Structure 1
Amino acid sequence: MKQLIFFLFSLYCLYPQITGTVIDTETSKPLSGVNITSGELGTASDNEGRFKLIVQPGKEVTFSHIGYSIISTHAFDGMIVKLKASILPGKEIVIRAGLKEESLQRSASSVTVIDALSIKRIDGNHFQDVMESIPNFNAAGGTSRPRYFQIRGIGERSQYFAEGPPNFSVGFVMDDIDLSGIGMAGLLYDLEQIEVFKGPQSTIFGPNALAGLISLRSKEPNQSFTANIRLTGGTDNIQRLNGMVNIPLGETLALRMALESGSGDGFRTNKFLNKTNTNGRNETIVREKLLFVPTENFNTILTFFHAKLDNKYDTWAPDNNEYLFTYTNQQGIDSQETNAFSLRTNLSRKNLNATLIVSQSETDLIHAYDGDWGNDDYWLHPPYNFDPNVTYWNYEFYDRTDRNRKNQTMEGRISYGDVILGYHTKSLEEKDNASGWLYGGDASLAQSKFNFDVSAVFAQMERNISEKIIVLANVRKETNKLKYYGTAIDFDWDVEDYVNLEPVAFEISHNLLGGKLALQYFMRNGINVYGSVSRGYKAGGVNQHPFLVAENRPYDPEFMTNFEIGLRRYTENSTLHFSAFAGKRMDQQVSISSQQTVGDPNSFIFYTANATTGSLSGFELDGTFKLNQTLSISGSLGILNTHVEAFTFESDAGITTTFGNREAAHAPKYTGILAVNYGGENGLFTRVELLGKDKFYFSDSHNEISDLYQLLNGHFGYDFGNWSIKFWGRNILNTRYATRGFYFGLEPIWNEELQDHEYPDKKYVSFGDPVYFGVTVDYNF
């Protein structure tokens, strides 16, 4: 790696360069993504219109951009080029979550960008509404809103108490605030765009990006007064109120405030409690952004973020009924409250740029559920015949975890030309207070505390090395330290009192190295062909069960090497992105859950080990095509093949079970969407989309699978002046599809011959939202 960096730096110094800026003739604003060529050499302007080109002064250089007239002129250092719009200029999509802002068209990464217009077209209110449009992307149910995601078959499916530290394969970031594992707050009102990076991104984003990263970025303040109010009503008692105002505060300050508040009953009917809102949502998000631009070379943006999701949770039923009835007698909770801020400061001076990013957040979560999914009356009837007056105990189990997470991050970057150097620090503390049937029934009350500290340095270099070929190399060296302390108590029937279990204190640290090498070839017809090899990592962790021996408590980091080739082509009427990939997972972390006590549906233990290796391969395709001025089609397709090598674990005392030698969990072989959009000059608009997903395994701990499914969504509406009205529907065909599945012994089936209850293992599933309709009204001031 050192030799590669030295080689690229030498190339950087040897070749002559000219620099300049491209601006719009009418507005004098910089233009990004302008294609700049001289003979066989080429480059593009960045987000501030600046460019560099390896060419001798005096050579002829051509500048072209969709929607602008092409011009040619002689090169000189410091040149300012003005382009004149010839037709309506197309909006250039810019990736903002990486080490530097870059045009999507020129990116050497597999990234899906969903901009504000696409969010509106998909009727996106929450990230879960748009995630189905992302190829090779999946999410696990089991929460009131998705917060555990899988990219290309890699990612967590839960984080129950005692399931391990807050290490995630898929990161989730909103306005530079790290919300990995707590992405329920991903509401989409007033968002600029969503960026989903696929494949290892550890060099840029650290240990939470082995599989990829999700970045949500809201709209920034500007110097124009604007405001919006949006009202939504729908079936299932859906009610939403959104509002936004952007206020200039002089020539150097601007403020943007957004509010999103909504509620719904949750699509379930609890037959025992006779309620329709036991799975309800009540969600509020407030965001304030302050932009300060005292000079053209300096700007800073401060973001305040408050989210309160006072959600209930009641989705499971012993009979897996498709009428969405539940029978619990204790209310489930899945709530989240987050308060956070981020500060991003940029300073530029000619070719030198410096960026400082600071964030801090505190989140309180409650996850509680009725673990038997029933009530005394339900279990009293056949085939259960469970009578507490006969058994002398109630079939009643309830678990609750109160979690507090504090997270601080700081990152600094300095770039000179195409060379970037930076550092990153992170300090995370997560504390749990839990009650119920914990550690497989070995404890009834427990507390845990994780401290996760990360420090890293990174570097990136990008250079033109020959005819239209660009090489990019980056590297990240990271040290992370994890400290764990846990206590627990249990009721001892011999002494008829609570007793303390032996506390657990454990500490691990690792040095990790990740990097990426990419080559790009830019063709004259607007095609970007790229190939890359990257190495990513996921931090190691600690198993929490108090009775484990010391050597079985820690597990090591996981690493992945990924090879990728891709192609992007953008024209005035179409976009196309294709990527093919193959990855190898080393020291793969396998998370196992096992029920320990017959007749106790909550008596699970969790254990993670570096049990095996794995592989993945496939391709992704997405694009749009404009048929005419009013009609367009868009779609995406993901094909995925995964394999987990066989591994063994002790599922019960003295019983060894072998799993693996199959596909990874939550890794469907295909995902896809096809949509038709119409937007007439008379203000009428409509969209119809059909999405599909293949079957997939629910878990690494059993071999139960889901069913494949297709969903139909759509809307139609009318824009008139400052008003817009839209009628929409989701899951219009009312398809039942599973988002999470378990396999264990829950139901106490009465055996007449044995004169006792049996608890046979069975598959249980939780369904996604059924059909629902609504209307949304917008007014722009």
Structure 2
Amino acid sequence: MNARLCLLATAVAQGLSFSAVADDSDIERLIVTGDFKSESIQELSASASLFSDAEIATRDAKYLDELLNQAANVNFTAGASRGRFVQIRGVGLRSQFVDPINPSVGMIIDGINYSGLGGAAMLFDVDQVEIYRGPQGTRFGADALAGMIHMESADPTLEPSLKVKLGMGTYNSWDAGIAAGTGFGEKSSVHASFYQNKSDGYMSNAYLEREDTQGIDERVARIKLHSQLSEHWRAEFVAHMMDIDNGYDAFTLNNSRTSVADEPGRDTQDSSAFGLSNIYTGFEFADIEFNLTALDADLLYSYDEDWVCNDPLQPALCKAGLHPWGYSSTDSYQRDRQDGSAEVRFNGKGGNWVAGAYYQSRDVDLLRQYTWNEGDFTSHYDSENLALYGQIETPISDKTRLVTGIRIERNEGDYNDVYGVTESVEDTMVGGKIALEYQVVPRTMIYTSLSRGYKAGGINAEAIAKANDEGLSQDAQFFLNHRTFDPEYLWNAEFGVKGKSADQRLNLRITAFYMYRDNIQLKAWKTQGQQFAGYYDNGSSGENYGLEIEGEYALSPRLTLGGSLGLLESEIDGFVSADGTDKSGRAQAQAPKYQYAVNARFDITDALFVNLALEGKDQYYFSNSHDARSPSVNLLNATVGYQADLWSVNFWVRNALDEDTYTRGFRFGNNPVNEYATQNYVQYGEPRVAGVSLNFEL
């Protein structure tokens, strides 16, 4: 199959290489900034997707998960109020409970590392979202085994600017944002924004007679300050404040959107962060960049574990809770996370080399309050990462360039908890990239690359804690044998074609890839009655390979088409679940065999437009430890908009046909009425939602 994919990509390269010269304005030039330098996405020797602020506004996407279905081979899962766990090419985490996690897909916002804090991905005043597929071992290291999401908010300018957004929609939703900037003096500028988003959410609670127990209440404030302090010294400062207070009431015994939980949970994040960059350009051999970041986040994730009420005055609604075998319990996880990082980077004057050193510390304190535990469970995990990296671009001929990069990273983690358990992990990991780029003609480039990513090992804190739980204590030795797990390495080979058609109306990017996961880290679950515990284990290996196609085509001056297609095959090798089932040969979780998105924008007049979008994905497994699946789905979205000089209004609808979608799934017994028979339970995704947004920009 890989050979056929490469032949297809080569044929496309030949088709794009016919010489012609035309106006370059038909298709917008797409610039990515998340790698070591700013460059056209057509020149990047990696597979990536880019979404501009205009695309975000057309879709009225307020949060990252409302955008991800547009990217090839990118999936997400919730298990929370938002789809904040992302998978790229079938690789990525799906949840977090007790365990301190090492993300597989990183997230950088304005240079600050928010990996593992997906709730921060709000999109107001974000200029663009970049999604890098495949390991980013040289640039981002241990947080980017499968890929990286890079978000950049609007930069300050010397000219005054103002942006205002007002929106309202179904489910009693509304949002409002304001962003403004200006220059002061001749060499300094500032840009600030504030945004609030509220919604009742898509669940109703019949017992509490509320519509907002799965509600959204999010606020974010950002400020950027840029200053040219001298001829060669530039300083850039950014600060974020986020206040997320969402509800969590997602699961029901009958898999409906009507809950009867008497103690619905919460999903909150109260965080502040800053970044400071100093760039000095006065040396002849290189520019020097010194970056500092700090982040402090208080997180709460809680839920009603039995999903039902226990009120004898409501016997019909509370039937399961009042059953003789019924139970009532809640689970709550409060985290205090503090991150700090420092980086020094040397950038060659010709833009052809970079070298640097990076240090990051992360301290996480956990307080778990669980009905079945005797007393509170507390733990502390602190980790440190120190990395050295470098990358050089070497011209081989006037059309061929060799890119070579390496990153050596040392990770150390120390864990202790209230039970007196102490564990440490120490790993030295090496990643990097070798890429050969060939410019067929000025408009068309082909590349082949081999990259290696890595993900640090870790500690199964939940497994250790569960060894003391009632109901699972007989499996204490099993959990103690799984106290830690080892690092995972990912080898990624790609062959890509990127180019424009002769008439400049078509941009096309095609990538064929093969990934080998060595010592693959997999999440598994061990259950006993209504008690269960999650843990990470290492399988022997895994394979993920496929094809990614993305592009834009100006069919006429008024009709533009765009879209993506992702094809993916995945397999687990050498992994046995806790119940003794050999999962070898089965597809990996969250890895649909195909994903697609098609967009058509028709400009009826210079001001009035219609945008239709169709997106879908194949069925996929929810987990590596059981065989419950999400079904295939096809969704229709539409926008009608009017754009004047300074303002615009969009009428939008997502999931117009109101298809059922699922963002999380489990398989276990939780219903006493049917004697706790094992069954599938799902969390619903976004139903049909519609609204209007008014935007003013000066």
Task: Report the counterpart of residue 171 of structure 1 in structure 2.
Answer: 106
Look up the equivalent residue of 2:376 and give its one-letter code. L
Alignment equivalent of 1:476, drawn from 397, 407, 416: 407
Distance 1:718 1:746, change over 3 A: same
Alignment equivalent of 1:504, drawn from 418, 421, 424: 421
For the pair 1:779 / 2:696, whether they are aligned, the reply is yes
Alignment equivalent of 2:61, drawn from 94, 119, 124: 124
For the pair 1:343 / 2:276, whether they are aligned, the reply is yes
Measured after TM superposition, the shift of residue 524 of structure 1 is 1.7
Measured after TM superposition, the shift of residue 378 of structure 1 is 9.1
Distance 1:358 1:605, change over 3 A: same
CA contact (8 A) 2:58 2:650 kept: no
Q: Secondary structure at the match of 1:421?
A: strand
Task: Report the counterpart of residue 146 of structure 1 in structure 2.
Answer: 83
Q: Secondary structure at the match of 1:310?
A: strand
CA contact (8 A) 1:383 1:749 kept: no
Cα distance in 2 between the residues matched to 1:290 and 1:329: 47
Task: Report the counterpart of residue 466 of structure 1 in structure 2.
Answer: 397
CA contact (8 A) 2:412 2:425 kept: yes
Distance 1:646 1:411, change over 3 A: same
Measured after TM superposition, the shift of residue 235 of structure 1 is 0.9
- Correspondences of 1:578-593 after superposition (within 5 Å): 578-593=510-525
Task: Report the counterpart of residue 81 of structure 1 in structure 2.
Answer: none
Q: Secondary structure at the match of 1:733?
A: coil
Task: Report the counterpart of residue 535 of structure 2 in structure 1.
Answer: 607
Measured after TM superposition, the shift of residue 166 of structure 1 is 2.5
Measured after TM superposition, the shift of residue 777 of structure 1 is 0.9
CA contact (8 A) 2:338 2:363 kept: yes
Tell me: higher relative CO, structure 1 or 2? Use CA pairs within 8 A at least 6 residues apart: 2
Task: Report the counterpart of residue 451 of structure 2 in structure 1.
Answer: 534
Q: Which shows bigger deviation, 301-310 or 540-549?
A: 540-549
Cα distance in 1 between the residues matched to 2:42 and 2:176: 36
CA contact (8 A) 1:472 1:519 kept: yes
Q: Secondary structure at the match of 2:620?
A: coil
Measured after TM superposition, the shift of residue 295 of structure 1 is 4.4
What are the Cα deviations for residues 642-692 of structure 1, in whole angstroms up to 9, with x where unaligned?
Answer: 0001422444xxxx3433420000110011100101235531122110000
Task: Report the counterpart of residue 648 of structure 1 in structure 2.
Answer: 576
What are the Cα deviations for residues 116-155 of structure 1, in whole angstroms up to 9, with x where unaligned?
Answer: 2222233222111111111000001211112211000000
Measured after TM superposition, the shift of residue 268 of structure 1 is 1.2
Measured after TM superposition, the shift of residue 386 of structure 1 is 5.7
Task: Report the counterpart of residue 235 of structure 1 in structure 2.
Answer: 170
- Correspondences of 1:544-559 after superposition (within 5 Å): 544=461, 545-546=464-465, 547=467, 552-559=482-489
Cα distance in 2 between the residues matched to 1:382 and 1:247: 61
Unmatched 5+ stretches in structure 1: 1-63, 69-87, 488-501, 751-757
CA contact (8 A) 2:27 2:507 kept: no
Cα distance in 1 between the residues matched to 2:186 and 2:311: 68
Cα distance in 2 between the residues matched to 1:455 and 1:406: 17
Q: Secondary structure at the match of 1:466?
A: coil
Look up the equivalent residue of 1:190 and give its one-letter code. D
When normalised by structure 2's length, the TM-score is 0.91
Look up the equivalent residue of 2:534 and give its one-letter code. F
Q: Secondary structure at the match of 2:56?
A: helix
For the pair 1:663 / 2:587, whether they are aligned, the reply is yes
Distance 1:306 1:385, change over 3 A: closer
Cα distance in 1 between the residues matched to 2:666 and 2:315: 24
Cα distance in 1 between the residues matched to 2:180 and 2:23: 31
- What is the aligned residue count? 661
Cα distance in 1 between the residues matched to 2:619 and 2:456: 30
For the pair 1:406 / 2:338, whether they are aligned, the reply is yes
Look up the equivalent residue of 1:288 and give its one-letter code. I
Q: Secondary structure at the match of 2:621?
A: coil
Task: Report the counterpart of residue 219 of structure 1 in structure 2.
Answer: 154
Look up the equivalent residue of 2:560 and give its one-letter code. S
Alignment equivalent of 1:419, drawn from 328, 335, 353: 353
Cα distance in 1 between the residues matched to 2:26 and 2:319: 72
For the pair 1:565 / 2:495, whether they are aligned, the reply is yes
What are the Cα deviations for residues 451-471 of structure 1, in whole angstroms up to 9, with x where unaligned?
Answer: 110001011110111241100
Task: Report the counterpart of residue 7 of structure 1 in structure 2.
Answer: none
For the pair 1:156 / 2:93, whether they are aligned, the reply is yes
Cα distance in 1 between the residues matched to 2:505 and 2:614: 22
CA contact (8 A) 1:659 1:702 kept: no
Task: Report the counterpart of residue 33 of structure 1 in structure 2.
Answer: none
CA contact (8 A) 1:66 1:90 kept: no
Measured after TM superposition, the shift of residue 113 of structure 1 is 1.3
For the pair 1:333 / 2:260, whether they are aligned, the reply is no
Task: Report the counterpart of residue 473 of structure 2 in structure 1.
Answer: none
Distance 1:332 1:386, change over 3 A: closer
Alignment equivalent of 1:515, drawn from 400, 407, 432: 432
Alignment equivalent of 2:129, drawn from 170, 188, 194: 194
Task: Report the counterpart of residue 272 of structure 1 in structure 2.
Answer: 207
Look up the equivalent residue of 1:476 and give its one-letter code. R
Q: Secondary structure at the match of 2:42?
A: helix
| % identical aligned pairs | 30
Q: Secondary structure at the match of 1:311?
A: strand
For the pair 1:595 / 2:530, whether they are aligned, the reply is no
Cα distance in 2 between the residues matched to 1:420 and 1:386: 62
Q: Secondary structure at the match of 1:666?
A: coil
For the pair 1:679 / 2:603, whether they are aligned, the reply is yes
Task: Report the counterpart of residue 15 of structure 2 in structure 1.
Answer: none
Cα distance in 2 between the residues matched to 1:169 and 1:378: 46
Look up the equivalent residue of 1:132 and give its one-letter code. N
What are the Cα deviations for residues 460-490 of structure 1, in whole angstroms up to 9, with x where unaligned?
Answer: 1101112411000000111110100111xxx
Q: Which shows bigger deviation, 295-304 or 416-425?
A: 295-304
Cα distance in 1 between the residues matched to 2:497 and 2:313: 58
For the pair 1:282 / 2:210, whether they are aligned, the reply is no
What are the Cα deviations for residues 564-622 of structure 1, in whole angstroms up to 9, with x where unaligned?
Answer: 000101353121000000011111112111222x2x3xx22122121221101001000
CA contact (8 A) 1:380 1:387 kept: no
CA contact (8 A) 1:66 1:89 kept: no
CA contact (8 A) 2:612 2:636 kept: yes
Task: Report the counterpart of residue 37 of structure 1 in structure 2.
Answer: none
CA contact (8 A) 1:151 1:212 kept: yes
Cα distance in 2 between the residues matched to 1:177 and 1:723: 32
Task: Report the counterpart of residue 618 of structure 2 in structure 1.
Answer: 694
For the pair 1:258 / 2:172, whether they are aligned, the reply is no
Cα distance in 1 between the residues matched to 2:29 and 2:321: 67
What are the Cα deviations for residues 357-386 of structure 1, in whole angstroms up to 9, with x where unaligned?
Answer: 211101111111111111125998689966
Distance 1:530 1:225, change over 3 A: same
Look up the equivalent residue of 1:685 and give its one-letter code. F
Task: Report the counterpart of residue 706 of structure 1 in structure 2.
Answer: 630
Measured after TM superposition, the shift of residue 387 of structure 1 is 7.6
Q: Give the superposed CA RMSD.
A: 2.1
For the pair 1:623 / 2:556, whether they are aligned, the reply is no
Task: Report the counterpart of residue 6 of structure 2 in structure 1.
Answer: none
Look up the equivalent residue of 2:182 and give its one-letter code. I
Distance 1:383 1:398, change over 3 A: closer
Cα distance in 1 between the residues matched to 2:38 and 2:164: 31
Task: Report the counterpart of residue 8 of structure 1 in structure 2.
Answer: none
For the pair 1:355 / 2:285, whether they are aligned, the reply is no
Cα distance in 2 between the residues matched to 1:66 and 1:177: 40
Task: Report the counterpart of residue 576 of structure 1 in structure 2.
Answer: 508
Decide which structure has the larger Cα Rg and report it. Answer: 1
Task: Report the counterpart of residue 682 of structure 2 in structure 1.
Answer: 765
Look up the equivalent residue of 2:266 and give its one-letter code. I
Cα distance in 2 between the residues matched to 1:543 and 1:582: 30
CA contact (8 A) 1:326 1:373 kept: yes
Q: Secondary structure at the match of 2:93?
A: coil
Distance 1:398 1:461, change over 3 A: same
Q: Secondary structure at the match of 1:373?
A: coil
For the pair 1:107 / 2:40, whether they are aligned, the reply is no
Alignment equivalent of 1:720, drawn from 644, 657, 670: 644
